[in-house]
């Protein structure tokens, strides 16, 4: 897809990554439609003459199809994120993460966009003893969240989409760093905010490897996929995971960067050589950049009651709203 101004639909535009991606797309001159329930507030996206906020549910097929009309690209980021949030209400998780994917595909069929990008997850690989998890590694998802991510990939590959639509799957690692719609239930962010507020870093399962990607790099990856030549990305899947550090190493980096636990059985090293080889994309920012962005936001008073505020914790917000 060429760089000139396009109309782009971003599902999950009010989410963690969406709240950073949408402004970046606007800055490039694109028209953006942010489709989201905006459970964490519409103020995560500033008003803009080329931004249309669509407060709606993925399960509303009519709304989603209507939102896609006239779009040159559709980026599907929206989902119930992370395993604990998913397990809180499995029926809701299935309805949004799996069943509503058929509505997304219908939106693509009717809109006939040049590009469709699906945000899957590196969690589809499960626990791996292989030191390098590449795109053709056999997936072994451990939870419904990751199983449904994989099932959506399968449905996409089988979907009868318009021939003019170039589709791509990206499998991000755990995103980290500050964004307007901040999440403090992700490993780097958790360790950083705990260190800032409590002065301690608690780690359980320290030797486990966890791939991460700084949120600015995550945004750039989407931009690269949007602009890449069709022949390089059509019907392709790309890992986007860097900084494959153990939890112990992440904790030490947090301690070093600040200058002053969660138990998760997953352990895997995600190999992102393909996206570098095919598209020339490499992460520019280390985890220290993500940590510093959180530190600066906290010290500037942008993070209020970081350990308890439901706006920063998906499962707490879902419990508060009793979403169904």
With 60 as the cut, is the pLDDT of residue 267 above it?
no
Number of domains in the chain: 1
- Residue 95 DSSP label: I
pLDDT of amino acid 1:
63
Do residues 21 and 10 lie in contact, with contact meaning Cβ atoms separated by under 8 Å? yes
Residue 249 lies in a domain: yes
Of the listed ranges 68-77, 144-153, 197-206, the one predicted with least confidence: 197-206
218-236: pLDDT as tens digits: 999 999 999 999 999 999 9
What DSSP string describes 264-321?
Answer: ------B--HHHHHHH-------HHHHHHHHHHHHHTT-S-STTT-GGG-HHHHHHHH
Residue 1 lies in a domain: no
Share of the chain above pLDDT 90, in %: 78
Residue 2 lies in a domain: no
With 60 as the cut, is the pLDDT of residue 114 above it?
yes
d(CA 30, CA 214): 23
Place 288 in a pLDDT band, splitting at 50, 70 and 90: very high
pLDDT of amino acid 262:
38
Residue with tokens 């209400």: 89
d(CA 170, CA 77): 10
CATH number at residue 306: 3.40.50.720
Residue 114 lies in a domain: yes
- pTM, 2 dp: 0.94
Residue 19 lies in a domain: yes
pLDDT of amino acid 245:
87
Residue 287 lies in a domain: yes
Pairing of strands 209-214, 242-246: antiparallel
Residue 54 lies in a domain: yes
pLDDT of amino acid 261:
39
d(CA 18, CA 139): 26
Rg over alpha carbons for the chain, rounded to the nearest Å, is: 19
- Per the DSSP assignment, residues forming a β-bridge with 133 are 270
Angle of helix 187-198 versus helix 247-258 axis, rounded to 10: 40
Structural domain harbouring 13: 7-321
b/e for 216-250, b at 16 or more Cβ within 10 A?
Answer: bbbbbbbbbbbebeeeebeebbbbbbbbbbbbebb
Residue 166 lies in a domain: yes
């Amino acid at each position: 897809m060429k760089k000139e101004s396009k109309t782009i639909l971003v599902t999950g535009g009010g989410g963690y990554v969406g709240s950073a991606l949408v402004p970046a797309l606007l800055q490039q001159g694109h028209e953006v439609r942010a489709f989201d329930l905006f459970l964490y507030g519409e103020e995560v996206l500033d008003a803009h003459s080329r931004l249309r906020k669509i407060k709606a549910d993925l399960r509303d097929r009519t709304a989603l199809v209507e939102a896609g009309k006239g779009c040159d690209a559709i980026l599907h980021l929206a989902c119930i994120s992370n395993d604990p949030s998913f397990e809180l209400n499995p029926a809701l998780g299935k309805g949004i993460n799996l069943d509503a994917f058929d509505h997304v595909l219908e939106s693509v069929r009717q809109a006939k966009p040049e590009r469709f990008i699906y945000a899957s997850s590196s969690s589809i690989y499960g626990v791996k003893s292989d030191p390098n998890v590449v795109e053709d590694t056999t997936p072994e998802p451990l939870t419904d969240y990751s199983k449904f991510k994989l099932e959506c990939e399968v449905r996409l590959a089988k979907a009868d989409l318009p021939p003019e639509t170039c589709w791509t799957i990206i499998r991000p690692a755990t995103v980290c760093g500050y964004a307007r719609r901040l999440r403090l239930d992700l490993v780097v962010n958790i360790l950083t905010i705990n260190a800032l507020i409590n002065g301690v870093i608690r780690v359980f399962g320290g030797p486990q490897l966890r791939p991460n990607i700084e949120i600015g790099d995550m945004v750039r990856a989407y931009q690269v996929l949007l602009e890449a030549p069709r022949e390089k990305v059509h019907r392709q899947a790309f890992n986007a995971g860097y900084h494959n550090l153990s939890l112990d190493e992440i904790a030490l980096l947090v301690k070093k960067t600040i200058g002053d636990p969660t138990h998760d059985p997953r352990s895997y090293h995600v190999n992102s050589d393909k996206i570098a080889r095919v598209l020339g994309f490499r992460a520019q920012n280390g985890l220290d950049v993500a940590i510093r962005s959180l530190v600066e936001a906290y010290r500037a008073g942008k993070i209020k009651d970081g350990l308890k505020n439901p706006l920063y914790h998906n499962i707490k917000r879902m419990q508060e709203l009793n979403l169904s």
